């Protein structure tokens, strides 16, 4: 299976051998959104009996990034230098925008950790607000940029990027 590194020549899944790769500084940024009713967004911004939704979802995103290798079968466990999750209310969605940034010094990239941080934060927002709005939509979870490693820097082209 040409080009798919998680499959061997016989099509069997395998964990990519990164042993010969150089350890380099690596960074990834991912984004996503949770759209909801304007009333639900107002509730989130005002606070509720469930407490600080953004604070809890931020911590969940950080915890999710740290557990990526436990969730994604062929993902390497990485020593993370930092995980940053920023959740911003956006009246125009209406909803929240989530940015997850991960950094490491390792032999493989941290894209999956950034994507997992955003996904976990978005799921937590949904979980905490579902009692008042089950129609929320998690969307546009995507890699925005990555740095480091053999392939260098990659940034999502502007014409296909969600607004973050």
Query: Which positions are catalytic?
Result: 127
- Residue 155, C-beta contacts closer than 8 angstroms, at least 6 positions apart: 144, 145
Tell me if 34 sits within 8 A of 118, measured CB to CB: no
Q: Could you give the CA distance from residue 75 to residue 51 in angstroms, rounded to a whole number?
A: 34
Tokens representing residue 118 in the block: 């955003």
Is 84 buried (19+), middle (13-18) or exposed (0-12) by CB count in 10 A? middle
């Amino acid at each position: 299976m040409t080009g798919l590194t998680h499959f061997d020549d016989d099509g069997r899944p395998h964990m990519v051998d990164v042993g010969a790769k150089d350890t380099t500084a690596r960074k990834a940024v991912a984004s996503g959104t949770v759209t909801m009713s304007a009333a639900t967004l107002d509730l989130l911004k005002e606070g509720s009996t469930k407490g600080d939704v953004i604070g809890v979802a931020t911590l969940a995103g950080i915890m999710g990034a740290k557990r990526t290798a436990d969730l994604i079968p062929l993902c390497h466990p990485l020593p993370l230098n930092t995980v940053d999750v920023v959740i911003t209310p956006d009246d125009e969605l209406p909803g929240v925008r989530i940015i997850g940034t991960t950094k490491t010094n390792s032999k493989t990239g941290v894209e999956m950790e950034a994507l997992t941080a955003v996904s976990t934060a978005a799921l937590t927002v949904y979980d905490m607000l579902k009692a008042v709005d089950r129609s929320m939509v998690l969307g546009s979870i995507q890699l925005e940029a990555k740095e480091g490693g053999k392939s260098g820097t990659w940034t999502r082209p502007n014409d296909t990027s969600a607004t973050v």
